[in-house]
Amino acid sequence: MSVAQFGGQVAAEAGGPGAGEVEQERRRGRVGYLLLLPGLLWLVIFFLVPTVQLVATGLYDPNGSLDTGYAMTWSFSNYWDVLVQYQEQFLRSFGYALIATIACIFLGYPLSYAIAFKAGRWKNLMLVLVIAPFFTSFLVRTLAWKSILSDNGLIVETLKTLQLIPEDGRLLATPVAVVTGLTYNFLPFMVLPLYASLEKIDPRLIEASKDLYASGVTSFRKVTLPLSAPGLVAGTLLTFIPAAGDYINSELLGTPQQRMIGNVIDNLFLVQLDYPAAAASSVLLMVAIVCLVVFYVRRAGTEDLL
Amino acid sequence: MADGRSAGADLTLTGVTKRFGGFAAVDDLDLEVASGQFFALLGPSGCGKTTTLRMVAGLEEPTAGTITIGGDDIGRLKPYKRPVNTVFQNYALFPHLNIFENVAFGLRRRGVKDVKSQVDDMLELVELGGYAKRRPAQLSGGQQQRVALARALINRPQVLLLDEPLGALDLKLRRQMQIELKRIQTEVGITFIHVTHDQEEAMTMADTVAVMNKGVIEQMGAPADLYDNPATTFVSNFLGQSNLVKASILDTHGDALVVDVQGTRIAAPVARARRTDGQVWVGVRPEKVFLGAAGVEEGSYDDNVLPSGTVTDVSFIGVSTQYLVKMPWGQELTVFEQNTGAREQFRVGDKVDLHWVAAHTFLLDADQDAHAGDETYAALSGAPTA
Ligand SMILES: Nc1ncnc2c1ncn2[C@@H]1O[C@H](COP(=O)(O)OP(=O)(O)OP(=O)(O)O)[C@@H](O)[C@H]1O
Ligand SMILES: [Mg+2]
C-alpha cells in the first residue's frame, strides 16, 4: 500500500500524464481485463457456482431425501443443528490441525534452514527428498504409517522395551497416531514455502547484523526470522487448512474417538446421504477456516499474502 | 567497548594471509593505519580488498597473521565483539525495518539508552531527517548509501570499514558524497578504511593511500608522494598514467643519474630511482611533458629532451589536449598540454621534441611489466590487468 502511495507521488511530481498517455493507459487497462477473462470464467464456473450450490443445499428441507427430492425451504436451522451435533468433531479438527501445524513448524523450520543455508551441493537432492513422498499416493503413505505404528511394529516394541509406554500401551488408534499422520503428510507444504523464503535472504544481511553487535541467536531473531515470515505464514496456511479438513488420517490411524469433521462430512454425504446436513457442515468448516486465516494473517502482519 | 569511546584507534595487520583452497586472495599483508586517519585501500577488481576488510570485521578468518586494534589482538574475536563497523559494498540494509530501525539496530543490540535522540542526530548528520519512517526500498541509491553510513557510524566504532560505498552512484553524486564523507570523518575523528578502485577518489579523500595488487600491498604513502614517486610499474600505471621507456643507466653525477634512452642521454634524480644501474624503465607523467617543434630550443637548457617524434593523434579534452607522439623506436608516448592558449598547437603529422624538467623523471626496475596496472591497455589488448 505504501509502495503504491510512493508511486503516486512520483507520478504527481512528474507533472501527471498527458492526454495521449491517458488514452494509452486506458487501453492498457482494457487489455488487462481481457487477460483476466479466462481465469474469471474458470472461477465462476468451477468455484462460484458450486459454492453457491453448496450453500443452497445446506438450506434445503432436512426431511427430503434423494428419492423424494429436496425442497428449498430456507432451513437456516440446518446450520445450527450440525454445529450443535458435531461441535466435538469441529473442535477436534481444529485442535489436531493446530498441533500438527505447530509440529510441522518445529520439524520444518530447521529442515528448511539447513537446506537453504547449510546443504551446499546437496541442496537439490534434499529438496527432491522432501517432495519424493508425493510420487506415491496419499492413501498408501498413510497406510504405511498404519504398519509403522502398529501394535507389533518396531516403534511400539522399542518404546515398550525402553519402558516409555506401558506393556499394553499402543500408538495406533490414538490421537497421537492421527496427529503424527497429519504432521507427516503435510510437512512438505511447510518446508517448501519456508525454504523459498529463507533461500531468498541475502547472507550479507546476516553478516551486517553480526557486524552490528548481534550474536548468532539475535541475528536469527531479528533478521532471519522476520525475513522468513512470509514463508512461515504461507506454510502454516498450506498445512493448517488441508489438515483441518482431512479425514484419511483419522480414518486409517484412528478410531471413532478420533473422528474429525472431514469424517463426519464424508459419512453424511456418502453413507447417510443427508445432503443438507453434509452441505451445511462443509460450509461451516469453510467459514470457520476463512475466519481463522484472516485473523491469523492480520496478526502476523502479512496482509500482502491475501 | 565502553560508551564515550569516540576517537579512533590504530589498526595493524601483520603477515595476514587468506587462502581460498590453494589460491591466496590476501598474501602476507602488512598494514599499519594510525588512529584517526582516512586510509584508502586502492586496487583493481579481485585484488583482495573486500577480503582484507572482511578479515578485519571478523566475517572471514585469516589463514595466518594477526590483526590488532589499539594494541589488542582481535583476530579471533567474533564479529559482534569487535569495535569495528562496516559499510557494505551493496549497503545490506535490512529490508524489513524502516530507516530509523536500521540506524538504531546496533544501539539496540548494545542496550544503549536514548536511542531516539542519537538516531535523530545521526539522520540529521547524513541529511536524511525526514526519512525515518521509510523503508530502504523507497530510497534512492545515494540515500541508501547514507543510511548505510549512518547505521555503521552511529556505533562510534574505533575503526570504520567502507567497502566501495560510492561504487553504485553516478559521478556527480559520487563527488558530492566524497566531500560529505570527508567532512563527516573530520567531524567524528574515527579511523576510516575506505576501499575503492577509483584512484581519483582515493587521492582526493585519503591521508594515506595503499595500492594493492594480487593480494599484496605494492606501495603505501601520502597521495602526492605515491603519484610523484611510484615504486613499481603497477603503481605508476594504476595511479594516473605514465610514459615508460626502456633505457639503461650509464653513469652517476652527484645526485643525478645519466641514462641512455634509445640513443639519447637524459638525467634522472637518484632520489627517484628504484635502480641505480643496468636496465630501467624511464618514467614521466604525461602532464609533465611539453611539446616543442622539432629542433627548436624550448624551456631551460638542463631539461630532458627526447627528439624526433611524430604526432599521431590529437584529442581535445577541454581543459587540456592529449597528444599521442610516435617515437623513432616505434613506441607511442602520451602528452597532456594545458589549453592555456599561449602555446602552439600541433597537428597530426607534425615533427616534435618532448621536453620535461629532469627532476620529474623516475626510474623503475626494467624487470617489471611496463603495462602492469594499465587498465586501458588491458582492455584494448585483452591481456589481464596486473
Ligand atoms: N569465498 C570465496 N571463495 C573463493 N574465492 C574467493 C572468495 N571470496 C573471494 N575470493 C577470491 O579472492 C579474490 C579477492 O576477492 P575480493 O572480494 O577481496 O576482491 P576485491 O578486491 O574486493 O574486488 P572488487 O573490487 O571487485 O570488489 C578474488 O579473486 C575472488 O575470486
Ligand atoms: Mg570488493
What's the pLDDT tens digit per position in B103-117? 999 999 999 989 999
Note whether B228 and B288 are within 8 A (CB).
Answer: no
A281 near A265, Cβ under 8 Å? yes
Same domain, B198 and B324: no
CATH number of the domain encompassing residue B45? 3.40.50.300
Q: Are residues B204 and B250 in the same domain?
A: no
Q: Provide the sign of the torsion angle of the four alpha carbons A18, A24, A27, A33, taken in this order.
A: negative
Same domain, B216 and B298: no
pLDDT at B240 over 70: yes
Q: Note whether residue B376 is domain-resident.
A: no
Q: In the structure grid, which three cell numbers stand for residue A105, read together?
A: 513448524
Same domain, B262 and B177: no
Lowest mean pLDDT of A138-142, A170-174, A262-266, B376-380, name the range: B376-380
Query: Which value does ipTM take for this structure?
Result: 0.80
Nearest ligand 1 atom to alpha carbon B197: 25
Residue B221, SS3 per DSSP: strand
Closest-CA residue to B151 (of B196, B88, B205): B88
Identify residue A36 by its one-letter amino acid code.
L
Q: Which of B228, B255, B286 is the last residue of a domain?
A: B228
Cα(B43) to ligand 2 centroid in Å equals 10
pLDDT band, very low/low/confident/very high, at A5 (cuts 50, 70, 90): very low
Q: Give the β-pairing of B208-213 and B38-42.
A: parallel
Is residue A15's pLDDT more than 60? no
Interface test with B, best of A201, A213, A222 (most B CBs within 10 A): A213
Q: Is A181 exposed, middle or buried (0-12, 13-18, 19+ CB in 10 A)?
A: buried
Residue A284 has pLDDT above 50, yes or no: yes
CATH number of domain containing B259? 2.40.50.140
User: Which residue's CA is the closest to the ligand 1 atom numbered 22?
Assistant: B50
A159 assigned to some structural domain: yes
CA distances from B186 to B162, B183, B204, B207 (A): 15, 5, 14, 11
Task: Say if A117 falls within a structural domain.
Answer: yes
Report the SS3 class of residue B188.
helix
Beta bridge pairs of residue B324: B313, B334
Q: Among B228, B262, B281, give the residue marking a domain's end.
A: B228
Q: Reply yes or no on whether the pLDDT at A6 is more than 70.
A: no
Q: Choose, out of A197, A206, A211, the residue to mutate when testing the contact with B (most B CBs < 10 Å).
A: A211
Determine which residue's CA is closest to atom 14 belonging to ligand 1. Answer: B48
Same domain, yes or no: B253 and B346: yes
The reply to whether residue B88 touches residue A223, judged by beta carbons under 8 angstroms, is: no
How far CA B233 is from CA of B223, B246, B378, in Å, comes to 16, 12, 14
CATH code of the domain in which A144 resides: 1.10.3720.10
On whether residue B266 sits in a domain, the answer given is yes
Which among A6, A205, A213 is the nearest to B80, CB-wise? Answer: A213
CA distances to A17, A154, A163 from A166, rounded to whole Å, are 77, 15, 6
Q: Is B221 left (phi over 0), alpha (psi -120 to 50) or beta?
A: left
Nearest to A212 among B106, B137, B138 (CB): B106
Supply the pLDDT for residue B90: 87
Q: If you ran DSSP here, which 8-state letter would residue B359 be given? A: G
**Who contacts B90 (Cβ-Cβ below 8 Å, separation ≥6)?**
A204, B168
Question: Within a 10 A sphere around the Cβ of B310, how many other Cβ atoms?
Answer: 16
Say yes or no for a CB contact (<8 Å) between A214 and B110.
Answer: no
Closest among B43, B7, B48 to B26, alpha carbons compared: B48
**Closest Cα to atom 16 of ligand 1:** B48
**How does residue A299 score in pLDDT terms, banded at 50, 70 and 90?**
confident
Same domain membership, residue B170 and residue B72: yes
Query: Cell numbers 590476501 correspond to what residue?
Result: B26
Residue A177 neighbours by CB under 8 Å, 6+ apart: A145, A149, A171, A253, A254, A258
List residues of chain A with CB under 8 Å from any CB of chain B: 2-3, 6, 202, 204-205, 207-215, 218, 222-223, 226-227
Same domain, A17 and A121: no
State the total domains in chain A. Answer: 2
Amino acid letter for position A261: I
Judgement on whether residues B12 and B148 belong to the same structural domain of the protein: yes
Contact between B56 and B37 under an 8 Å Cβ cutoff? The reply is: no
Cβ contact B85–A222 (<8 Å): no
Ligand nearest to the CA of B24: 1
Q: Which three cell numbers stand for residue B348?
A: 597530426
Ligand 2 centre to CA of B185 (Å) is 22
pLDDT, mean of residues B348-361: 90
The DSSP symbol for B129 reads G
Taking the mean position of all CA atoms in its chain, how far away is CA A213? Answer: 37
Range of the domain at A32: 3-47
Best interface-test mutation with A: which of B94, B134, B143, B162 has the largest number of A CBs within 10 A? B94
Q: With an 8 Å Cβ cutoff, are A227 and B95 in contact?
A: yes
- Mean pLDDT over A51-76 rounds to 88
Contacts of B78 in chain A (CB under 8 A): 210, 215
Domain of B338, in residue numbers: 242-366
Task: Kindly report the pTM of this predicted structure.
Answer: 0.80
In this structure, are A145 and A19 located in the same domain? no
Q: What is the pLDDT of residues B40-99, one digit of tens each?
A: 999 988 899 999 999 999 999 999 999 999 888 998 899 999 999 999 988 999 999 999
Of A82-86, A238-242, A245-249, B122-126, the least confident? B122-126
Region of residue B374 (phi > 0: left; psi between -120 and 50: alpha; otherwise: beta): beta
Lowest mean pLDDT among A72-86, A287-301, B4-18, B29-43: B4-18
Nearest CA-CA distance, residue B324 and chain A, Å: 46
Cα of B168 vs centre of ligand 2, distance in Å, is 13
Residue list, ligand 1 pocket, CB within 6 Å? B 20, 25, 43, 45-51, 197
